[in-house]
Amino acid sequence: MTEITCTYTGDGETALVHGPTGTTLKTDLPPDNGGKGRCFSPTDLLAAAFASCTLTIMGKMAAARGDDFTGAHLSIQKIMAANPRRVGEFVLDITFPAHFTQEQKKFYLSAVNACPVHQTLSKDVKLTVRVL
């Protein structure tokens, strides 16, 4: 179990502390929801968690197989929906190392579904995955 504490610091911002390490980060309301967008929004953190979870799992898979995963890159877009306001879609653009074959790429794409963040999302959240 990991504890994260969150304190409202005013003006739409919060401060978060990762209990085990003391690492901190801040959030702010996004401009499209009345905030100033000075840092990650809470839903930005969800997108970041999904991206880092997916790429971390791919890296772990590569280490187990002895594949060089250096240079892999994932970009994620978060698209909001309304009524209720929520994340409606994630678009993942994945760039694999140049030496990867199509078979390797297909194998590593299984990490998207294996990611616990993805498994936690509502089935109503649309997912688009593109390999660049």
The phi, psi pair for 100, rounded to 5°, reads -70, 140
What confidence score (pLDDT) does residue 45 get? 96
pTM of the model: 0.92
What confidence score (pLDDT) does residue 64 get? 97
For the chain, the farthest-separated pair of C-alpha atoms sits apart, in whole angstroms, at: 50
What confidence score (pLDDT) does residue 98 get? 95
Q: What is the spatial distance between Cα 110 and Cα 75, in angstroms, rounded to a whole number?
A: 17
pLDDT tens for residues 58-79?
A: 999 999 999 999 999 999 999 9
What confidence score (pLDDT) does residue 120 get? 95
List alpha helices for the chain, DSSP H: 42-65, 102-114, 116-120
Distance from CA of residue 13 to its chain's centroid?
20
Per-residue pLDDT, averaged over 93-122, amounts to 95
Q: Where are the domains of the chain?
A: 4-33, 42-131
Q: What is the spatial distance between Cα 39 and Cα 17, in angstroms, rounded to a whole number?
A: 15
Tokens of 42: 């809470």
Which CATH architecture fits 42-131? 2-Layer Sandwich (3.30)
pLDDT tens for residues 6-38?
A: 999 999 999 999 999 999 999 999 998 999 999
